[in-house]
């Protein structure tokens, strides 16, 4: 469920068809994923999952997989 929600958010924020979203999606593989879209993506994920990423965590995000991994750790710590 986390993966699907993150994919949907990435699709909306980055303007990419949901069928083209996978864990390897990264700023180096997508021109739309610039610094502004990076922050928008993080913001939308924080709102959707009611979590907060630190600046260090936000900077460490390199692709969708790293977002999902960080998010799962945060959700696990909340439960």
pLDDT at site 79: 47
List, in order, residues 6 or more apart from 3 with CB less than 8 Å away: 23, 68
Average pLDDT over residues 5-24: 95
For the chain, list the domains and their CATH numbers.
2-78 (1.10.1200.10)
Render pLDDT for 17-63 as a digit per residue (tens, 0 to 9): 999 999 999 999 888 899 999 999 999 999 999 999 999 999 999 99
pLDDT at site 78: 54
pLDDT at site 77: 66
Render pLDDT for 54-79 as a digit per residue (tens, 0 to 9): 999 999 999 999 999 999 998 886 54
């Amino acid at each position: 469920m986390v993966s699907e929600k993150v994919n949907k958010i990435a699709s909306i924020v980055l303007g990419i068809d949901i069928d083209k979203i996978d864990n390897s999606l990264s700023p180096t593989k997508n021109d739309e994923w610039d610094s502004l879209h990076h922050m928008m993506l993080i913001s939308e994920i924080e709102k959707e999952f009611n979590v907060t990423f630190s600046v260090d965590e936000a900077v460490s995000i390199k692709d969708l997989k790293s977002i999902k991994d960080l998010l799962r750790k945060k959700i696990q710590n909340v439960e």
